Every structure is written in C-alpha cells, then in structure tokens.
Amino acid sequence: MSQLEIKDLHVSIEDKEILKGLSLNVAQGEIHAIMGPNGTGKSTLAYTLMGHPNYTVTGGEVLLDGKNVLEMEPDERSRAGIFLAFQYPVAIPGVTVANFLRSAINSRRRADNPEDKGMPIPEFRKMLKEKMDMLKMDHNFAGRYLNDGFSGGEKKRAEILQMATLKPSFAILDETDSGLDIDALRVVADGVNALSGPELGVLVITHYQRLLNYIKPQFVHVMMGGRIVESGGPDLALHLEEHGYDWLREKTAEETA
C-alpha cells in the first residue's frame, strides 16, 4: 500500500511563509479532508504537492513510498501517481476532451518506453466509453473542447474523468465544490465515490461541510496559520459547521501562549 508522507513542510511565496511546519500522512484507500478559513494555506499545499514553480519549499519533506517528491518535476509527480483537480480548471479551445486525455496517456507511456507508439485509437475509445459510463457521462462530452464554454459542474466532471483515465495513486481535490450548485456537487461527488477504493488515496480540500455529506472522509484535519492544528473523524467537520473556527482559534492561541 502506497503512502504519501508530508513531514514538517515549510513553503513560501515571494519570501512570505505560508506553510509553517505542516505534517500529514495519506495512505491508499483513505479519504482525508482538509478544512480551514481562507488564507490558511490549503491551496498552497495542493500546488506545492504538484510542483507549482511559484511556491518555494524552505523546509521539510514530501515522500511517496520513500521517494522525495520535491526533487521531481510536475510531470514526474503525475507519472509517479499524484493527481491534482484544480479549483479553477483552464479552458483549452481547439483541443477536445478525448484528444487531451489520449495525449496525456500516450505521454506517460512514452516516458516509460520511448519506443511506445501510444494507445491504439480503438482501445482508447473503448476505455474512454467505459470510464464515461461509470461516471454516468454523455459520450458527446468527449468531443467538446476541454473546459471551453463549460459550466462549473462540467469543468469539475472533466477533472474527475481525467482522474478516472489516468488512474493515480493519490488525488488532491482543491476546493472541487467551489462554485457548484447542489446538483452539480452530487454529480462530482458520485464520480469521486465511484473511483474511490483500495488503490486510491484522496485528499479533499474544502471550506464547507456540504461536500463531505457526499464524499465521506475517514479523517478530517483543520488548517490554521499554515499548519494542521486539529485532526479527527467526520464529527469534526460537523462540529466546525455548527460552531465555526473561533473555538479553535482560542484553543490554538492558548497552546502557543
């Protein structure tokens, strides 16, 4: 079973420290949720794990099965099994969803074997239809330009389809619920739940309990001040929904006083 281990991670943006000693372990088969107020570094964590160049790691480690993720380029991290579903996916006019996915798969195959000629088109079409059926998606979706003119829900469904076809070991969902109505939220959550299992570890980053009504985490963590200050089970998210973060701010202030 693979493990993603984050140890005492410190990250800065333009010399301003955002993450201040964050530690977290996620194993395949587990669903972890990270909650917290705005500005606590949740998205910084997501982008750092995927290797965004604007985020400078000043201390700590990120290990995937003992290998140092921080020494890998973003594409190497993806091939190693890390996937990031963006909060605001970018539109790529002129490139269909199907072509984008086939290019991504073939790029991975060639990285492993430069002589690989890529997945044959009939095999790819069969696989893509199977994934879309599993996610209850219209097959016409594959012929649309990636995220071009998509609604918020359609963009997030495209991200889940990418996750289904690339089959990562660990998926990071950066505020996947952002801008979604209840119907779209359910569709996306159903897709994540369909993919969840012993070979996938999931890290859900969210502001709100409502997403966790549909994606059920075993572990809930609260970020404040660039580190995790509280961890627990699903009841912790319900407590935050009812009481907010003030009690935790007071508790943290007392512990650091």
Q: What is the pLDDT of residues 200-243, one digit of tens each?
A: 999 999 887 888 888 999 999 999 999 999 999 999 998 888 88
Amino acid 242: pLDDT: 87
| CA gap 222, 203 in Å, rounded | 13
Distance of CA 154 to the CA centre of its chain: 17
CA atoms within 13 A on the CB side of 96: 10
Amino acid of residue 53? P
Q: Which two tokens stand for residue 152?
A: 């918020």
Map out the domains of the chain with their CATH numbers.
3-92+156-256 (3.40.50.300)
What CA–CA distance (Å, rounded) separates 105 from 91? 19
The pLDDT value recorded for residue 246 is 87
Q: Beta strand 92-96 with 56-64: parallel, antiparallel or unpaired?
A: unpaired
As separate numbers, helices (DSSP H) first and strands (DSSP E) second, the chain gives 9, 12
Both structure tokens of 181? 């109505």
DSSP E strand boundaries for the chain: 3-13, 16-27, 31-35, 56-64, 67-68, 82-85, 92-96, 145-146, 170-174, 201-205, 219-224, 227-232
Q: Which tokens is 75 given?
A: 């594409």
Please state, in angstroms and rounded to a whole number, the distance separating the CA atoms of residues 66 and 86. 26
pLDDT at position 256, please? 57
43-75 tens-digit pLDDT: 999 999 999 999 999 999 999 999 999 999 999
What number of other Cβ atoms are within 10 A of residue 53's Cβ?
8
